[in-house]
Structure 1
Amino acid sequence: MYRSGSVFITVNSLKDAFIELNWDPTTSEDGRGPEHIALYNCDIRKTSVCETHLYVKIRAREHPKGYYKTQIKFNLSKLPGNWCYNSTSPGHAGPQDLPYWIVSFTEDLQIIDIQSMKIQPTWMGDHSDTLGHQHIGNLIIPGTHNSACCVGAPFFTKDYVINQDRTIWEQLVFGIRYLDLRIACYFEVDDRPAFHINHDFIRVQRVERVFEEIKKFLERSPKEVLIVDFHRFPRPKKWLDHLHDMFIHYTFNELGPYAYVRNASVHPKGPTLNEIWAARKNIIFTHAEWCYTEKYLWLWPSIPHAWADTTCVLSLKQFLENFLNRDSTRQAMFHAIMAELTPTFKDVLLRRNKLRKLANDVNPNLTRWVKDWNHRVNIVTSDFFLGNDLINLAIYINSSR
């Protein structure tokens, strides 16, 4: 994987959601290089001709960057392996293939590489023999930015509020293991506080639904470890102590049994997965306000986030590289690179640089960046995460160490 002629599938971040073909265009030492790239509905090594459907086939040399956007729309009508949210049967362990297979061929039609697009609902447990002894702060953790901003925004704000097009459940089933949550508090008719996910000042969905999806996923995937980051508290502008305490108690009531409690002897790069599994826990909760992490030992300190606040891809890359080169970043238990572009206030007024467009600018580059940065990377977040291959790359690099 990730060698000469290797292939992977992504989904374009724009609304059309076309399948994208990606491959390494270089020629290997034995002179074998990809001549043809094709997209099929199944594994052509195992199925008969009558069951095989060829979506598209292209000449690799006509696309020297190793990238081609098809006109085939990504369709996820049902998750395989009993991983639909409402399924009553246990989900199958291991990667589960979707009906999209990419193949690279030599000139004489010998297969160089073949990969499916897949969900990875149990990838940490699947690789427990190689991942168990590793500290979580040394792993590459694929995450999403504004994770729960995936449904519910008012129509006129959607282009600048919705950062994901998959639910929390789907994100976790695909293999996301870091969730970036921004918490807001609203007061209902009887003046009782109700906690919601916000994108800045825009209300998106209730926290209750997000917690339900997390809980259901962990019930079905007991060896997966999540980092749930209470990254920001945008509403009200000033959270009083009693509101923070109410939210913390609410969270503990809902997800407390999964919370991994920190201790004074923890390694500088956090616990190993074996240690987390031995405690029969699944979630490391981090909190933006240090005073509450001092008060509640199941809340971990705030994570350093690298946010470039730019609309320029090159500026984003340079900012993230500078962040990764800092001594303080290397010494921190966790760190998160926020690998997304941010529209300006003027962009919103002029209806330009919408979030999908900006994600489409970044995502085709992001897999290659992280592959090059490799061991320096911990948490990586992105918008419209199916536009990159970070989940499979993280699994590959983590299990190869």
Structure 2
Amino acid sequence: MNKMKILVVPFLQSILLIGSLEAHCPVYLTVSLTGKTLQDTLLEINWGPYCYGPPQWVGIYAKDPTTSNFQPDFRIDGIANRTGKMITPIKLGKLHFPGGWNRQDASDQPATQYPAGKCLPHFVASYNGTELLTVDCLKIQPNWMAQIKDVNRLPLKDIFLPGTHASGAVFGSSNKSNSILVRDYLVVQQFDVWSQLVFGIRYLDFSIGYKNMNTENEADNFWIANENMLITPLVGILRDVCLFVKRSGEMIVLDFSSFPIGFYKHPEIY
């Protein structure tokens, strides 16, 4: 009898473990690469990796589904794959950040601190029948480094910093050309640098070009470049970075990774 007890307890533990694994399936929202403008960009539902028990259905909501019995704006049924994604017809819409995190918000008032993030009005929830399994949202992360204890004492090699490539090559920052070259190669980012920082990016990668603009301010001569083309003045982006650091207190790493345009003709600016 004692031997039976010894065998049964691990067996029950294994059943509980398997049950918890089957119920575990992360479901979250990202922004797809579709849309001619940022507002027209579509939301994307992602699940996994390696869901041991995919939910029966997933819904997108404009409000937190845990606060009331809302009907989803979009629903996916019959998820079978353990890992996957699906572009939805739900548009991102015009971004409005809460708590004083819009660029144009008054700087004389301190912005609200969100060390654990703050949801935007885009939620995703997974269900088995009417049983709510998981809820997540598209959220901003303007103060995530504040929750890391003694982060100011950590060496950079011990910190994982989310970053973007060609951070200033932003959709809409170049001319309005419909050229395939501009749309598919020159432009890399959908979100401007300010929005990237509010969403939690802490490493920015810039290629810099030089063009004499014949103005009194020498800073006007420095541009964001990508694929050997000038995109947008650097000074405006640096102002955004400085404003964000002042408002958030977060650390931002700027990597001026290359200088592909104009510098070889102007050795005096090195």
Q: Tell me the TM-score normalized by structure 1.
A: 0.54
Q: Distance between the aligned counterparts of 2:151 and 2:27, measured in 1?
A: 24
Query: Structure 2 CA distance, aligned partners of 1:27 and 1:208?
Result: 46
1:372 matched residue in structure 2: none
| The structure with more radius of gyration | 2
- Counterpart amino acid of 1:135? P
Q: Distance in 1 between matches of 2:94 and 2:167?
A: 19
- The reply to whether residue 230 of structure 1 matches residue 256 of structure 2 is yes
For 2:57, the aligned partner's letter is H
1:109 aligns to 2:120 (yes or no): no
Partner of residue 69, structure 1: 87
The separation in 2 between residues aligned to 1:182 and 1:211, in whole angstroms, is 13
Give the match for residue 76 of structure 2.
58
| Alignment correspondent of 1:87 | 105
Alignment of 1:206-355 (within 5 A): 206-222=233-249, 224-236=250-262, 238=264, 240-244=266-270
- Aligned AA (1:20): E
Of 208, 215, 233, the residue aligned with 1:183 is 208
- The Cα of 1:140 is off from its aligned counterpart by 2.0
* Equivalent residue, structure 2, for 1:168: 193
Amino acid in structure 2 at the alignment position of 1:230: F
Structure 1 residue 133, shift from structure 2 partner? 5.6
Contact persistence 2:101–2:198 (CA under 8 A): yes
2:122 aligns with 100
Listed one character per residue, the Cα deviations across residues 105-161 of structure 1 (whole Å, up to 9, x for unaligned) are: 12x422221111101011001x22275664322322111111111143231342121
Asked if the contact 2:58–2:124 (Cα under 8 Å) also holds between the matched residues in 1, the reply is: yes
Counterpart in 2 of 1:287? Answer: none
* Structure 2 residue corresponding to 1:122, chosen from 143, 160, 163: 143
- Give the secondary-structure state (helix, strand or coil) at the position aligned to 1:210: helix
**1:9 and 1:92, CA in 2 relative to 1: closer, same or farther beyond 3 A?**
same
Unaligned runs of 5+ in 2: 1-20
**CA pair 181-148 structure 1, distance change in 2 beyond 3 A:** same
Q: Say whether residues 1:40 and 2:61 are aligned partners.
A: yes
TM-aligned CA deviation for residue 66 of structure 1: 2.7
Checking the alignment, whether the CA contact within 8 Å between 2:59 and 2:76 is kept in structure 1 is yes
The offset of 1:236, in angstroms, is 1.5
SS at match of 2:112: coil
Contact 1:233-1:239 at 8 Å conserved across structures: no
Distance 1:241 1:5 in 2: 56
1:199: how far off?
1.2
Query: Matched residues in 2 for 1:139 and 1:84: separation?
Result: 27
- The residue type paired with residue 45 of structure 1 is T
Structure 1 position 197 matched with structure 2 position 197: no
What SS is found at the alignment partner of 1:176? coil
Structure number with greater CO (CA < 8 Å, separation at least 6) is: 1
Quick one: structure 1 residues 201 and 59, their matched pair in 2 at CA, closer, same or farther if it must change by over 3 Å? same
Kept in 2, the 8 Å contact 1:4–1:26? The answer is no
Counterpart residue number, 1:383: none
* Superposition CA RMSD, Å: 2.5
Task: Please state how far the C-alpha of 1:4 moved relative to its aligned partner.
Answer: 2.5
Which protein is richer in helix relative to its size? 1
- Counterpart of 2:255 in 1: which secondary structure? strand
Look up the SS of the partner of 2:162 in the other structure: strand
Amino acid at match of 2:104: N
CA contact (8 A) 1:39 1:100 kept: yes
Is 1:19 paired with 2:43? Answer: yes
Distance 1:23 1:132, change over 3 A: farther
2:215, 2:235 → 1: CA distance?
18
- CA drift at 1:103: 0.8
TM-score, normalised with respect to structure 2: 0.78
In 1, the alpha carbon distance for the partners of 2:150 and 2:124 equals: 27
- Return the offset for 1:208: 0.9
Determine helix, strand or coil for the equivalent of 1:187.
coil
- Partners of 1:171 and 1:81 lie apart in 2 by 16
Give the distance between the partners of 1:134 and 1:124, measured in 2 at CA: 12
Three-state SS of the structure 1 residue aligned to 2:25 is: coil
Residues 131 and 190 of structure 1: CA distance in aligned 2, closer, same or farther (over 3 Å): closer
Shift in alpha-carbon separation, 1:24–1:192, aligned structure 2, 3 A:
closer
Identify unmatched segments of 5+ residues in structure 1.
Answer: 245-401
Kindly provide the amino acid, as one letter, of the partner of residue 247 in structure 2: R
Paired residues of 1:184 and 1:197 also in contact (CA < 8 A)? yes
